[in-house]
Structure 1
Amino acid sequence: MKIPVLMQQNNSQLVHYTNNNFINNYLNSFNWDQILATLTSKVITIVLLSLLFLIIARVGRSIIYHIFHHADVKKAQHPDPAKSSGRKRSKTIYSLLQNAYNYVIIFFWLYSILSVMGIPVGTLIAGAGIFSLAIGLGAQGFVSDIVSGFFILSERQIEVGEHVTINAINGFVSAVGLRTTQIRSADGTLNFIPNRNITSIANLSRGNLTTLIDIRITPDAPIKKIETIMDQVNEDKAGKDHNVIGDPLVFGTVYLADGSLAVQACITCKSGSEDNVQADYLQAYLTALQQAGIELPLSPQTVQPPKKPTPPASSQATATPFKMK
């Protein structure tokens, strides 16, 4: 008599989720209070861990910034070119450390989250089997990027702030990371180049550069007079531009790629100032030649004006005598 009574009492305490008694018995077999408490605990732990790693990330980035900022300020007080090169090196290492630090923080954050959720990360990594092989094959590009970036940095091929040409992309190095190198072009475009795709690097910031200035002329132009005027401009501007190294040279008459003639001048200048020096001297040359009354072609090809056409022989009127009857 006691057993049916107990069963009736237990059935009365069951929570009826649906009209199906089997589903109700199955759902009532779970300890929902414990599940809710565990879930709440894990969510709170994940949130606290995320906040902790966020604080660690900001504090670490701040420490790295202050260390390199103070070193950069000290080097900026010295105008020595060697110090300037050291500043570029510091910016490159700073960019790399920031990039690597972010990857480390993200890795440990993900590892902590998975551990809190009860996922055996170590066991998964050790027993992944074919998945590890697939991940390894997919990560070949990532590893290649890191290895290529390591050699680029260790050999000091490029540094932040330098003017370079990488794979036909011209601009200034904005950042050097573990996976990509960022190049900002003259028009402001930020180019991301994977390190493994870098096949050729032309560094335009190492040493002095030579800029060529071509003054196009016509075949009947007074070449000697033009060269004399350009030499006079070089003498007048001597010592006025600290970016110019040595004395500019007037090579003389040369053929350009399009077949036109030009009087060419060569100027050696400091790296990074070649565009300004070229524009300055080109303006001075053209102004002096215009003041001397020398005409220069308006385009690479000089088009001769058409001659006055002559009427064809058939259209020329011929006077024929005729007799009046």
Structure 2
Amino acid sequence: MRESGPEGGGGMDWTAFGEWWGAWGQPIGILLVIIGALVGYWILKVVIRRVVDGVVSGVKRKADAADTEALAHSPLAQVRVVQRTRAIGSVLNTLAAWVIGALALILILSILGVNAASLVAMASFLGAAAGIGAQGIIKDFLNGLFMVFEDQLGIGDIVDLGEASGVVESVGIRVTQVRDVDGTLWYVRNGEILRVGNESQGWARVVIDQAVPYDADIDSVQQRLLDVATEMSEHPDWLHRVIDKPEIWGVESVSAEAIVIRLVMKTRASAKWEAGRELRKRVKLGLDDLGMHLPSLQSIVVRGMDGKR
């Protein structure tokens, strides 16, 4: 560039600047768009991380926990708040990256001189290609997102997902990890989960279908079963885990070999299995006190409330 003017003053040679910009304008513009996209994504990421960390820190303070692992000894709701918050933060980071990347691509194409009609056609083509080629990934992503938002399951829950059942070890946006009773770790794609049976939310019910001889005194047996269950529910060790009075629902089935009586006890979800084992042991001892010899279960078919065996 050189100086010019009516009196040789210090004015800028706009012609030379225009030539220089014509040669380097596009690369500089593209570089500025890329830098702006990276800076914008970094800012959004920092904001999302601070919000997530703020929520997690608040939950830890409320639970008086030093780290996230310590929250396992706190109420399950607090663990789930941490889990959902972090999962949502991960989703927002991913969405921010995609949105900023798409805007940056549009701006770069505009700088390169691609017209609006071409951009629309390209976007339509890419959208159709993504819809065909990434249907499974999109389905996994959306289903995982809904499961997180709706709190259908959480880490530590005992669930039945159809093909896999066990304890949830990880809930991701695309894959949920479930470890079964044999120790096998199942990786279940969220898009393949059509139903979730969660045995760890709210309350649970221990159901015991006890077979007794056909000639047994039904009233005496029912009263003995109820006394045993009531005694257990009032014991200090179980007082806070049994949340309602045990009930005898009556005779469930009758056959030539035996009569089946149903005993139920409502417990906290986390105490169902332990309470069930203890109740069965007490039922056995209680029936022994009556001198009762129980029939074989091989020929007895019991049907539940839903009609299933």
Shift, 1:101, TM fit: 6.0
Q: How does 1:284-323 map to 2 (within 5 A)?
A: 284-301=282-299
Partner residue, 1:51 = none
1:90 paired to 2:65:
no
Q: Cα 1:147–1:236, aligned 2, differ >3 Å: closer, same or farther?
A: closer
1:140 paired to 2:135:
yes
Q: Paired residue for 1:76, among 63, 66, 85? A: 63
Aligned amino acid, residue 94 of structure 1: R
Aligned amino acid, residue 251 of structure 1: W
Distance 2:126 2:87 in 1: 33
Q: Cα 1:222–1:155, aligned 2, differ >3 Å: closer, same or farther?
A: same
Q: Unpaired runs of 5+ in structure 1?
A: 1-55, 109-119, 303-325
Shift, 1:134, TM fit: 4.5
1:197 paired to 2:195:
no
Question: Is the 1:211–1:274 contact (alpha carbons within 8 Å) kept by the matching residues of 2?
Answer: yes
Shift, 1:213, TM fit: 0.8
Compute the TM-score of the two structures, normalised by the length of structure 2.
Answer: 0.60
Question: Is the 1:145–1:178 contact (alpha carbons within 8 Å) kept by the matching residues of 2?
Answer: yes
Compute the TM-score of the two structures, normalised by the length of structure 1.
Answer: 0.57
Distance 1:159 1:260 in 2: 42
The number of equivalent residue pairs is: 239
Shift, 1:255, TM fit: 1.2
Q: Cα 1:142–1:292, aligned 2, differ >3 Å: closer, same or farther?
A: same
Question: Is the 1:145–1:194 contact (alpha carbons within 8 Å) kept by the matching residues of 2?
Answer: yes
CA displacement 1:232-272 (0-9 Å, x = unmatched)? 21343232212111211122222189x95312101000112
Shift, 1:69, TM fit: 6.0
CA displacement 1:58-113 (0-9 Å, x = unmatched)? xx9x989976764453243499x9953132221233355458769999xx9xxxxx
Distance 1:166 1:268 in 2: 24
**SS across alignment from 1:244:** coil
Superposition CA RMSD, Å: 4.5
Q: How does 1:143-292 map to 2 (within 5 A)?
A: 143-240=138-235, 241=238, 242-255=240-253, 261-292=259-290
Aligned amino acid, residue 286 of structure 1: K
Question: Is the 1:183–1:191 contact (alpha carbons within 8 Å) kept by the matching residues of 2?
Answer: yes
Distance 1:130 1:63 in 2: 37
Aligned amino acid, residue 224 of structure 1: D
Q: Cα 1:130–1:95, aligned 2, differ >3 Å: closer, same or farther?
A: closer
Q: Cα 1:188–1:74, aligned 2, differ >3 Å: closer, same or farther?
A: farther
Aligned amino acid, residue 300 of structure 1: Q
Partner residue, 2:10 = none
Q: Unpaired runs of 5+ in structure 2?
A: 1-41, 66-70, 101-108, 113-118, 301-309
Question: Is the 2:229–2:246 contact (alpha carbons within 8 Å) kept by the matching residues of 1?
Answer: yes
Q: Cα 1:136–1:263, aligned 2, differ >3 Å: closer, same or farther?
A: closer
Q: Identical aligned pairs, as a percentage? A: 21
CA displacement 1:36-74 (0-9 Å, x = unmatched)? xxxxxxxxxxxxxxxxxxxx9xxx9x9899767644532
Question: Is the 2:249–2:261 contact (alpha carbons within 8 Å) kept by the matching residues of 1?
Answer: yes
- Structure index of larger Rg: 1
**SS across alignment from 1:283:** helix
Question: Is the 1:75–1:84 contact (alpha carbons within 8 Å) kept by the matching residues of 2?
Answer: no
Q: Cα 1:131–1:99, aligned 2, differ >3 Å: closer, same or farther?
A: closer
